[in-house]
Amino acid sequence: MIRAARLRVACALSVLCLLAPLRSFAQGELRFCLHADPKTFNPLMVDDDASEAVRYLTGGTLVRLNRRSQQLEPELATRWKTSSDGRRIEFTLREAVRFSDGSPFGAEDVAFTMRSLMDPALHSPLGDSFRSGPGEPQIEVTGSNHIAITFPAPVAGLDKLFDEVAILSAQSPLKERAVLGPFVLADYKPGLFVYLKRNPNYWKKDSAGRPLPYLDSVRLDVQQNREIELTRFRRGEIQLINAIDGEYFDRLQAQSPAEAFDAGPSFDSEEMWFNQSPSAPLPSWKLGWFRSTEFRQAISSAINRQDMSRLVFNNHASPAAGPVSPANRFWFNSRLKPHSYDPAAALRLLRQAGFRVDAGVLHDSGGHAVEFSIVTNSGNKARERMAAMIQQDLGAIGIKVSIVTLDFPSLIERMTRSFNYEACLLGLVNTGLDPNAQMNVWLSSGENHQWNPAQKTPATPWEGEIDRLMRAQASATDPSRRKQFFDRVQEIAWEQQPFIYLVHKNALSAVARNVQGADPVVLSPQTYWQIERMKISNERAAN
């Protein structure tokens, strides 16, 4: 009898052990990886991808950008109105909403959040986006559910900026731990994971009136290694990969096509530029080449972007024409096409600019052989391959290119302090839709005006024209007028090629079969932007 009882207990325990992993998935725990520890859990101080992921999952915002339609949708604000001069915005807030700790939500919380955000002592990166002129914003609480904010100067794309402002509680002793988003921070082990539990007070409900989110918890494992991340995805240990490299994507697609998603060109671009800074310790003839529009246009025409997309990104990229990707539907200037690969045209342009080819080597009018180095960051295989392709393409028109890979701090030192480089190949990560996010790139006084940063006065007429257009679009509030201005900026950039845009990488992601409700898109966060409607089924766990 005793033996039989022991056997039954052992069998029961075995069954429980076998069911344990199924049970955890059946309760609806979504898992995916962060590639670094979050630097902060304060939503006003977010400046890195990992913290941004936590903010998106836990923070409640007044409005939310629909990542599919790229249109703003009401969230904690049921209505909002921006003044015609772009300085004032009024919100009508949703009623009967509570923070995760039960404290009520109202206009005072929004006022508290905006005051904290705009506090100069906080140095909030997000707060800087709202600072369009000197002075502090005026915040008027005109009712328990009504608030108006007036900024000292027009803020272009004002309403869209609130997509990133997670509202804090003015009263809760938990401070930023009291949230209005679908999940709440439950545990964090540095270097291991961030654990989020369902917010029991989340205000949103589905069409059948059931409370959202469907998931009970989200576990974000800290994992830097992309290969391990993919292996864990294949094993079913994680269910999402937000941004996946081309070669990994192809392997996943070959094995499990239903789990691999290519959403098309992303907002990110890869580009190269020549150093035109007068502070650069370069020979005058080299600076002369780099400042020549024909030279830059010739280089652009001599680079085969199609081959680059095909070989380096396994066809998961498309040739770039300018700073705005076709994914950015409103701001993309569709009249511009990428410079086509045409070495003959490149040579014609170079001859016009006084260059000549002798014995297969391109020389300038002073007889100097044309050769330069391209610096890029080390450890990035895609960029090293792109540089190798540029080397061969430019070799075909008689230009000798050497490739130098540097660790990132050394590269930044050369780009921003010593200016001791000739050409640079890097990528630009665009997180915002609005061109205002690129102000410090395009204004000639900007620190990120990479080819010739921090100019006191524009070095060229076309840079002066870009300055004027960027300021005009920033102060205009009519979207179509702003688009006209920024379209012209893109045209000038296309003509002058200060940045030689190469490709836009595609937004590649992976979603496990057992995840329901995911709709991968280009905009970040690609796979979980509608997290509250996502579910986990047991299909994969049972496999």
Positions that interact with another protein (CB under 8 A): 227, 231, 247, 251, 304, 307, 310-312, 373, 375, 377-379, 381, 384-385, 387-389, 391-392, 402-407, 410, 413, 420-422
Provide, rounded to whole angstroms, the least separation between the CB of residue 420 and another protein. Answer: 7
* Neighbour-count burial of 139, counting CB atoms closer than 10 A to its CB (0-12 exposed, 13-18 middle, 19+ buried): middle
Phi and psi at 182, nearest 5°, equal: -70, -20
- Helix 479-496 vs helix 293-302: crossing angle, to nearest 10: 90
The pairs formed by 14-22 with CB atoms below 8 angstroms and a separation of 24 or more are 21/541, 22/538, 22/541, 22/542
Q: Which is nearer to another protein, 80 or 421 (CB)?
A: 421
Q: Which is nearer to another protein, 251 or 535 (CB)?
A: 251
Provide, rounded to whole angstroms, the least separation between the CB of residue 367 and another protein. Answer: 18
Provide, rounded to whole angstroms, the least separation between the CB of residue 406 and another protein. Answer: 5
Provide, rounded to whole angstroms, the least separation between the CB of residue 286 and another protein. Answer: 11
Provide, rounded to whole angstroms, the least separation between the CB of residue 55 and another protein. Answer: 32
Q: Which is nearer to another protein, 420 or 445 (CB)?
A: 420
Q: Which is nearer to another protein, 407 or 478 (CB)?
A: 407
Q: Which is nearer to another protein, 40 or 373 (CB)?
A: 373
Kind and range of the H or E element at 210?
Answer: none
Q: Which is nearer to another protein, 175 or 310 (CB)?
A: 310
Three-state secondary structure readout of 343-402? HHHHHHHHHHCCCEEECCEEECCCCCECEEEEEEECCCHHHHHHHHHHHHHHHCCCCEEE
Q: Which is nearer to another protein, 223 or 378 (CB)?
A: 378
The rounded distance, in Å, linking the Cα atoms of 217 and 200 is: 11
Provide, rounded to whole angstroms, the least separation between the CB of residue 403 and another protein. Answer: 5
Q: Which of 176, 174, 220, 175 is nearest to 197 (CA)?
A: 220
Instruction: Please give the DSSP secondary-structure letter assigned to residue 454.
Output: S
Q: Which is nearer to another protein, 406 or 439 (CB)?
A: 406
Provide, rounded to whole angstroms, the least separation between the CB of residue 304 and another protein. Answer: 8
The rounded distance, in Å, linking the Cα atoms of 124 and 223 is: 27
Q: Which of 370, 358, 333, 350 is nearest to 489 (CA)?
A: 333
The rounded distance, in Å, linking the Cα atoms of 223 and 234 is: 15
Provide, rounded to whole angstroms, the least separation between the CB of residue 2 and another protein. Answer: 50
Q: Which is nearer to another protein, 139 or 406 (CB)?
A: 406
Q: Contact, 305 vs 338, CB < 8 A?
A: yes
Provide, rounded to whole angstroms, the least separation between the CB of residue 404 and another protein. Answer: 5
Q: Contact, 68 vs 264, CB < 8 A?
A: no
Termini Cα distance of the chain: 36
Provide, rounded to whole angstroms, the least separation between the CB of residue 46 and another protein. Answer: 29
Q: Which position has the token pair 């993919």? A: 230
Q: Contact, 67 vs 529, CB < 8 A?
A: yes
Q: Which of 38, 431, 425 is nearest to 222 (CA)?
A: 38
Q: Which is nearer to another protein, 179 or 282 (CB)?
A: 282
